[in-house]
């Protein structure tokens, strides 16, 4: 497990542990709390973790596409966990027998592990019901600013590049940012590199790439490009972990 940051950790100082499960699925743990963002395990052939082995108390969902919510209900029932997402998606998933908290873009929420604020994202959001040939609108897509373990993490969700990423960098001291680089459905590497500069994160991890043929990208090349701009980062493999002291 790689340790980020140069300073030594003092006794009693919180530690944030990050585990990447592939695609856009990120698990954060600190001081006995664990949360997961956009759980997509059973449908991801690159995932190295079994769904039954994941223990979390909160599940954060950026939007309603299948590759971000596929395992949310099962994981919530398995852990008696609460799902936090947009109002429409929270309502839809609540009808399936799980505990939810609905919120919306720009809103923030205090939870036992820390604080979450929902940011805007430029994408779409809906559940496709193939048998009924219907698409159910699931509210606006978003991202999350998460304060946990004494650190601030930005998960951009699925998004294209947008100018207000500069504002996020001005309003928040972001320690770690997860940015999509897959292109076609989200930002590609070039736009994501610009986003990394705008959000001013100390460390950047690419997400939402290589899961399917249309979004194949070179994560290591992306990170090498960031290094040329004096931005630290790493292309994590599914199952790989980081620690933020």
Domains of the chain: 17-235 (3.60.15.10)
Considering only the C-alpha atoms of the chain, give the largest distance between any 2 of them, rounded to a whole number of Å: 57
Structure tokens at 240: 């790989």
**Each residue's pLDDT tens digit, 215-234:** 999 999 999 999 999 999 99
Work out the angle at residue 88's Cα, subtended by the Cα atoms of residues 173 and 49, and round it to the nearest 5 degrees. 65
Work out the angle at residue 104's Cα, subtended by the Cα atoms of residues 103 and 105, and round it to the nearest 5 degrees. 145
Under DSSP, the state recorded for 194 is H
What mean pLDDT value characterizes the chain? 95
Q: What is the pTM of this model?
A: 0.95
How large is the C-alpha radius of gyration of the chain?
A: 17
178: number of Cβ within 10 Å = 26
**Each residue's pLDDT tens digit, 153-185:** 999 999 999 999 999 999 999 999 999 999 999
Q: Is the pLDDT of residue 93 over 80?
A: yes
Q: Which of 141, 156, 224, 164 is nearest to 187 (CA)?
A: 156
């Amino acid at each position: 497990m790689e340790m980020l940051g140069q300073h030594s950790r003092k006794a009693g100082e919180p530690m944030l542990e990050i585990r990447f499960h592939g695609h856009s699925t990120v698990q954060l743990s600190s001081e006995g709390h664990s949360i997961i963002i956009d759980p997509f395990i059973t449908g991801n052939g690159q995932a190295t973790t079994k769904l039954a082995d994941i223990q979390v108390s909160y599940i954060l969902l950026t939007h309603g596409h299948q590759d971000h919510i596929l395992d949310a209900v099962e994981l919530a029932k398995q852990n008696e966990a609460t799902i936090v997402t947009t109002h429409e998606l929270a309502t839809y998933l609540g009808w399936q027998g799980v505990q939810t908290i609905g919120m919306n873009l720009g809103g923030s929420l205090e939870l036992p592990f820390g604080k979450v604020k929902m940011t805007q994202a430029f994408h779409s959001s809906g559940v496709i019901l193939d048998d009924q040939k219907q698409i159910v609108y699931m509210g606006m897509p978003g991202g999350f600013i998460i304060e946990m373990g004494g650190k601030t993490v930005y998960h951009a969700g699925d998004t294209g590049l947008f100018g207000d990423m500069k504002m996020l960098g001005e309003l928040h001291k972001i320690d770690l940012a997860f940015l999509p680089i897959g292109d076609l459905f989200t930002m590609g590497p070039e736009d994501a590199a610009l986003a990394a500069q705008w959000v001013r994160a100390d460390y950047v991890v690419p997400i939402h790439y290589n899961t399917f043929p249309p979004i194949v990208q070179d994560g290591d090349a992306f990170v090498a490009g960031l290094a040329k701009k004096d931005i630290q980062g790493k292309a994590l493999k599914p199952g790989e972990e980081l620690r933020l002291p």
